[in-house]
Amino acid sequence: MERVYNFSAGPSMMPLEILETAQKEMLNYSGTGSSIMEMSHRSKPFQAVVDNAEATLRRIMEIPDDYTVLFLQGGASTQFSMVPMNLAQRGQTTAYAVTGVFGKKAWEEAGRWGNAVAVINGKDNEFTAIPKLDADSLPRDAAYLHITGNNTVYGTTWNTLPQTELPLVADWSSAILGKVIDVRKHALIYAGAQKNMGPAGLTIVIIKKELLDRQLDNVVPTMLRYNIHAEKGSMYNTPPCYSIYMAGLMFDWVNRQGGVAALEARNAERAGRLYAALEECKLFHPLAAEKDRSIMNVTFKLDTEEMTADFLKMAQNRGMISLKGYRTVGGCRASIYNGMPNEGVQLLIDTVHDFEMGKRD
């Protein structure tokens, strides 16, 4: 069977050349006589893999020296707990912008640790837009402001970061490396790898070094302490070795494409063409407000569930999978991350037009 175009929100497609490199090195990595999956995380060859991955990520994201990069496990969902436990005292106020499913989960998890305040909540507009955030309304005693930079489920994004004097914490899982992110405007960035950075299993944390000096509550588990992982170079325990290796290949690939800015320009152009096609066709309806549309996750609906099922069947017959929308939203969702070839996006656009014409006939 030929490879399909996988529009899943994650795990997502990866560039074919990366998979071929991994395939070539599967049994014998760099002349070591063993696979990365067999290699000790304490070995010099694997330490070189980690060091090279971090160096390349720092270069393509322009991460300043006063930030620490951590390679962790547990997905972004574990960060919902680690962030408040490391950046706020128990019971302290924290501010959350609830703009989607995962923003809501992060807010609820923070409520287990302290006074988590939802400073905006997009529930009233069904999370189809980013509500306006008034900086004056933020709790002055809040330890930080947390946002979900790109909302995978609803297809919205923060195209302009909120103006605040509070330390800014952001979950950029579904947009990192797909658009330029100004690291200096953040106190902490976290992201699951399975969208734009490789396979599942790895979570990247980029944190200001000064935040690692905080005195933490004794109840915070060792594995949930950023400073422990920083002191041990992300090697406190066995890290997700293979996922780090694959992420390193992806970082190198991004660099070869001209960097994040070049990929953002490409991603914006092809997302724009897809949105234009959806708007031209009367049967298709983009869900996200135009000002807040994501270039990573394009969400849309058709007039009826029957039409949606027919469209998904047509797409699958043409070699496109995982276009079904999130279970609580319905409709369709096309996740067009860096690993999605331009040909896949164009095939989807052509299929939208063909489906429209077929229904008219």
Among the four given CATH numbers 3.30.930.10, 3.90.1150.10, 3.30.450.20, 2.60.120.260, the one describing domain 258-360: 3.90.1150.10
Global pTM?
A: 0.96
**Which residues in the chain are classed under CATH 3.90.1150.10?**
258-360
Check residue 147 and give its pLDDT.
98
Check residue 84 and give its pLDDT.
98
**Which residues in the chain are classed under CATH 3.40.640.10?**
17-256
Tokens encoding 345:
């996006």
Q: Is residue 80 scored above 80 in pLDDT? A: yes
Check residue 1 and give its pLDDT.
60
Check residue 361 and give its pLDDT.
54
The Cα 220–Cα 310 span in angstroms is 50
Domain 17-256 grouped into CATH 3.40.640.10: yes
Check residue 360 and give its pLDDT.
61
User: What's the whole-number average pLDDT of the chain?
Assistant: 96
- 280-303: per-residue pLDDT in tens? 999 999 999 999 999 999 999 999
Q: Is residue 353 scored above 70 in pLDDT? A: yes
311 — pLDDT class (breaks 50, 70, 90): very high
- 155-175: per-residue pLDDT in tens? 999 999 999 999 999 999 999
Per-residue pLDDT averaged across 195-218, rounded?
A: 96
Check residue 299 and give its pLDDT.
98
Q: Is residue 67 scored above 90 in pLDDT? A: yes
From the list 270, 288, 276, 291, the residue with the least C-alpha distance to 338 is: 270
